[in-house]
Amino acid sequence: MKNITLITILALSFFTSCKEEKKQAEVPKQEMEISDSLKWSERMALSEIKRFPDPTLLDFRDKPKWSYTPGLVLQAMSKVYEQINNQKIYDYIYEYPDKMIEKNGTIKTYKMSNYNLDMIKAGDIMYYVYNKTQEPRFKKVIDTLHKQLEGQPTTSEGGFWHKKIYPYQMWLDGLYMAEPFHAKYAKDYMSPVEANKVYDKIVLQFDLIEKYSRDSETGLYYHGWDESREQKWANKETGLSENFWSRGMGWYGMALVDVLDYLPENHQGRARIIKYLNQYAEAIVKYQDKSGTWFQVLNLPEREGNYLEATGTSMFTYTLAKGVNKGYLPNTYLENANKAFQGSLDLFITVEDNGVVNLNKCCGVAGLGGDPYRDGTFEYYIGEIIRSNDPKGTGPFIMAALELNK
């Protein structure tokens, strides 16, 4: 009797198990919202739209703000749109200026009197939508941002302060924030004589960075330079900050390749910019990790706490790839760019079940001075927040993927 009961229990268990397995097998897989058959550039663009349905809230904001980060991501998306003509992407790009610009051309949350170079970057997307729509309010914004540059405070030699609240300071970041926009404005809206004066001023910004921020031994660039030597982060003899920060150098590299899009072929400073770019490329590949990526503090890979970081890596990848594609750099650097992109896929990229792409290991923010005070030490740079999908990484990732046709 006991044997019969045991057989019955085992039989029921077997049939129940089969039913459960069949039931589990019948559960449909989550539908892919973003297809893995698309190129990485489009996949990341669509992932950003999925993550931040409102473009004014890019960069994890809880309320809209005129800022460089939406400008960076939306400019990257505009390049994707020009390739694939996906209306969803264009509508997303347009929504940012449409919401942030009043009918009279006033920019919400922006104050010219702050003289903050970071605020210029979003002007690049204004060019794009103005050329598409010819809406007068967008042209007013472009004029307003150029007017800021005309009044931007400078060092004794004419180098733009990064912000009015950071007097006598030039940061690597500022070259990318302002100079491609500056050159584009001169090219499109100024007389040849006046435009040439602006080009001279633009090249001067790069000349000063090369003069003060480049380390002759490593070829790397210090994040900030304080002409006054008053900041606690500044070396009392050189005025330089202490470390070679990956993203700081990333900003500068992108500035070099992007400003060349608008600097005339016959301008006397163009050859110098290309020379600077070649020196820059030679330096950064020396510090490229075997994974293809780069460390947060570039020259201290063995130091405890340092980590391979996604935003700087994406910027270096873009700079090298575009530099080769434009003919500014030798073709050999394309191998470094491809290795870097693959390294990013291996170490930083994860894909959710619905196809949404994440870029992980991004330094969320880093700067110098301010309140609370940022002292530029190694401990400071490795101690800032690390997060996924920071726009300072996703934007350059998209642009790098486009340059590499991936």
Q: Which active-site residues does the annotation give? A: 173
CA 130 to chain centre: 22
Structure tokens at 201: 């001023």
Structure tokens at 352: 């959710």
Listed in sequence order, the residues at least 6 apart from 109 whose beta carbon sits closer than 8 Å to its beta carbon are 64, 65, 66, 100
Structure tokens at 286: 């020396």
Listed in sequence order, the residues at least 6 apart from 226 whose beta carbon sits closer than 8 Å to its beta carbon are 168, 169, 233, 234, 239, 240
Rounded CA gap, 220 and 91, in Å? 40
Pick the closest to residue 333 from 296, 283, 295 (CA basis): 283
Rounded CA gap, 380 and 190, in Å? 43
**3-class state of residue 160 by DSSP:** strand
Other C-beta atoms closer than 10 Å to the C-beta of 85 total: 9
Rounded CA gap, 370 and 171, in Å? 14
